């Protein structure tokens, strides 16, 4: 077992003893409460100690960093081909079906919102974390563009795209902007779940994506600007199913030292080849992130924004979130009056406050980490930011599971009836899932994600400052411990019942 693998195993063992303290359970789609057998402060302290212990174990065991090496097994070609065809068909029906349902059925139907906001927006990232990235096959844009190219060749066009060069300076900033718009639409926009709004959003994004692919080419646009390609490509690096380029050819835009023969869902090459030119493989969880060497400011901004978005969603359910909104609302109302726009602007301001706080905390930690690195091995600040932002992905993945898994399960159970009758207004309860199980899954997902993030961050510290990796890694460890406490506190707040207190009469869930 390599040092990094031993460190991960030891750190997980250290975390389990402290992280499995019973407590409140996340009830995103459940209406029950779970009595805390210990004070909340003790439970949060135990989780923080678990993450800190994982850093100590990692620092003691992992003393050097080498080339990422782990076992892989190819997925049989027949199974991969069948899965690809099924996913391509499902992607077309799923995406365009949501658009048609939104326009044809009317706003009384929750089907489009269930298909998009739950199924695609939060469901697919969870699938990517647990299994792997399905989007290269599922993407309706890849399939649609391929069909348009085929049709163009039949009528005499040699190529469909205009051949414009994607501006290198834009990097992945278009995807960052689209993620910000999507988060605002999900969390702030009034009526964002109505059928017509969902349909217009999906139709507009479809046109934007196909136009972008036509102007700049499929590879360049998908790699840099297609929101779901970027988002699921990052989260997919956590999952055990990856893709390896079959033909080792250097793709457009790759760096000179790129090695496509061992490229597995890397940010530079993930969309370089058609899906049928990449071989699905099985690999251990998380290890796909060990190969992240080249990521810049736009990648860092994308990952931190995704983390801030899911945190804001959870924080809205807490008393702190309510107090923050209550502080901002009167100020905005005094400026604009008690209008709907004023309330929307107040929500937007609170959202921006959370996002800015996340970015400031991350930038301060990255700057300190960069300053502590050895001058002889120090990377540019942008590379440091991108690399350490990628280590936050296990945390984001764990919080996605803790915060949204029950909602996704509820919609999966509800979907057959909703497809049969799109006018159904209420999702079925899923109280058959033990509340204790939901809690333990949430704690393991969050603490386990933080432990994996600690190991990945220490790997970068070993490379950037081999003489003092522990000192260099301390700022990021402090950030991760702080976020461990924050995230577990957030998921506990809606249904916290501490020892010696009476249960509330009713619990309202998002």
- Average pLDDT, 10 consecutive residues per value, the chain (510 residues): 38 33 40 62 82 86 71 90 96 97 90 96 96 95 93 83 88 97 94 94 97 92 94 95 65 43 41 56 90 87 96 88 92 89 94 97 96 87 94 94 92 94 88 81 89 90 85 92 89 59 40
- Report in angstroms the alpha-carbon separations of 201 from 95, 122, 138, 204, 250: 11, 16, 19, 5, 36
Using an 8 Å Cβ cutoff, are 431 and 31 in contact?
yes
Using an 8 Å Cβ cutoff, are 239 and 129 in contact?
yes
User: What is the structure's pLDDT at 2?
Assistant: 40
For residues 250 and 272, give the distance between their C-alpha atoms in angstroms, rounded to a whole number.
9
User: What is the structure's pLDDT at 29?
Assistant: 59
Token digits of residue 76: 């049989």
For residues 395 and 484, give the distance between their C-alpha atoms in angstroms, rounded to a whole number.
9
User: What is the structure's pLDDT at 199?
Assistant: 96
User: What is the structure's pLDDT at 288?
Assistant: 87
User: What is the structure's pLDDT at 436?
Assistant: 77
Which residues are CB-neighbours of 457 under 8 A, at least 6 positions away? Answer: 388, 391, 473, 476, 477, 480
For residues 362 and 96, give the distance between their C-alpha atoms in angstroms, rounded to a whole number.
38
- DSSP letters, 140-191, are HHHHHHHHHHHHHHHTT-S-SS--PPPPGGGTTHHHHHHHHHHHHHHHTSTT
User: What is the structure's pLDDT at 411?
Assistant: 93
- Comparing CA positions, the residue from 473, 486, 470, 460 lying closest to residue 365 is 473
Query: What is the helix, strand, coil percentage profile of the chain, to 5?
Result: 65, 5, 30
Q: Model-level pTM greater than 0.85?
A: yes
User: What is the structure's pLDDT at 501?
Assistant: 54
For residues 281 and 177, give the distance between their C-alpha atoms in angstroms, rounded to a whole number.
32
Instruction: Specify the DSSP element, H or E, that contains 349.
Output: helix 340-372
For residues 186 and 184, give the distance between their C-alpha atoms in angstroms, rounded to a whole number.
5
- What sign has the CA pseudo-torsion 254, 255, 260, 266? negative
User: What is the structure's pLDDT at 236?
Assistant: 94
For residues 266 and 256, give the distance between their C-alpha atoms in angstroms, rounded to a whole number.
15
User: What is the structure's pLDDT at 270?
Assistant: 41
Residue 218, number of CB atoms within 10 A of its CB: 21
User: What is the structure's pLDDT at 263?
Assistant: 40
- Give 264's DSSP letter: B
Residue 155, number of CB atoms within 10 A of its CB: 6
């Amino acid at each position: 077992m390599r040092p990094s693998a031993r460190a991960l195993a030891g750190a997980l063992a250290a975390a389990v003893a402290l992280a499995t303290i019973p407590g409140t359970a996340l009830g995103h789609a459940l209406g029950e409460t779970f009595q805390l057998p210990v004070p909340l402060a003790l439970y949060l302290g135990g989780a923080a100690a678990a993450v800190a212990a994982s850093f100590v174990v990692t620092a003691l065991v992992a003393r050097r960093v080498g080339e990422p090496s782990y076992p892989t097994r190819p997925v049989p070609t027949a199974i991969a081909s069948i899965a690809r065809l099924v996913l391509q068909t499902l992607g077309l029906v799923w995406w365009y079906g949501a658009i048609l349902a939104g326009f044809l059925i009317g706003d009384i139907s929750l089907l489009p919102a269930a298909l998009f906001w739950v199924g695609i927006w939060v469901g697919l990232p969870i699938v990517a974390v647990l299994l792997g990235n399905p989007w290269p096959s599922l993407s309706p844009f890849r399939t649609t563009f391929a069909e348009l190219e085929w049709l163009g060749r039949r009528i005499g066009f040699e190529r469909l795209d205009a051949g414009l060069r994607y501006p290198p300076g834009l990097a992945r900033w278009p995807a960052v902007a689209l993620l910000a718009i999507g988060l605002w639409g999900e969390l702030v926009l009034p009526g964002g779940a109505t059928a017509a709004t969902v349909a217009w959003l999906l139709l507009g994004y479809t046109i934007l994506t196909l136009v972008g692919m036509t102007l700049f080419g499929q590879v360049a646009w998908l790699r840099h600007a297609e929101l779901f390609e970027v988002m699921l490509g990052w989260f997919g690096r956590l999952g055990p199913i990856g893709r390896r380029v079959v033909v080792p050819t250097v793709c457009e835009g790759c760096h000179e030292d790129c090695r496509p023969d061992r490229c597995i869902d890397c940010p530079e090459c993930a969309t370089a080849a058609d899906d049928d030119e990449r071989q699905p493989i099985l690999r251990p969880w998380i290890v796909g992130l060990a190969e992240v060497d080249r990521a810049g400011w736009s990648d860092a901004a994308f990952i931190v924004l995704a983390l801030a978005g899911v945190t804001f969603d959870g924080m809205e359910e807490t008393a702190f979130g309510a107090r923050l909104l209550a502080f901002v609302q009167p100020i905005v109302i005094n400026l604009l009056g008690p209008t709907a726009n004023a309330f929307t602007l107040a929500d937007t301001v609170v959202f921006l406050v959370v996002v800015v706080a996340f970015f400031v905390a991350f930038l301060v930690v990255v700057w300190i980490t960069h300053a502590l690195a050895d001058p002889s091995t120090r990377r540019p600040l942008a590379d440091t930011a991108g690399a350490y932002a990628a280590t936050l992905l296990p945390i984001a993945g764990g919080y996605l599971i803790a915060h949204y898994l029950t909602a996704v399960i509820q919609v999966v159970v509800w979907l057959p009836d909703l497809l049969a009758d799109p006018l159904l207004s209420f999702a079925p309860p899923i109280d058959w899932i033990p509340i204790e199980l939901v809690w333990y899954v949430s704690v393991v997902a969050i603490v386990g994600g933080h432990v994996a993030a600690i190991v990945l961050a220490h790997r970068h510290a070993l490379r950037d400052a081999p003489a003092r990796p522990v000192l260099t890694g301390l700022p990021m460890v402090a950030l991760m411990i702080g976020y461990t406490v924050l995230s577990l506190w957030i998921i506990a707040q809606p249904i916290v019942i501490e020892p010696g207190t009476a249960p509330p009469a009713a619990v309202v869930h998002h």
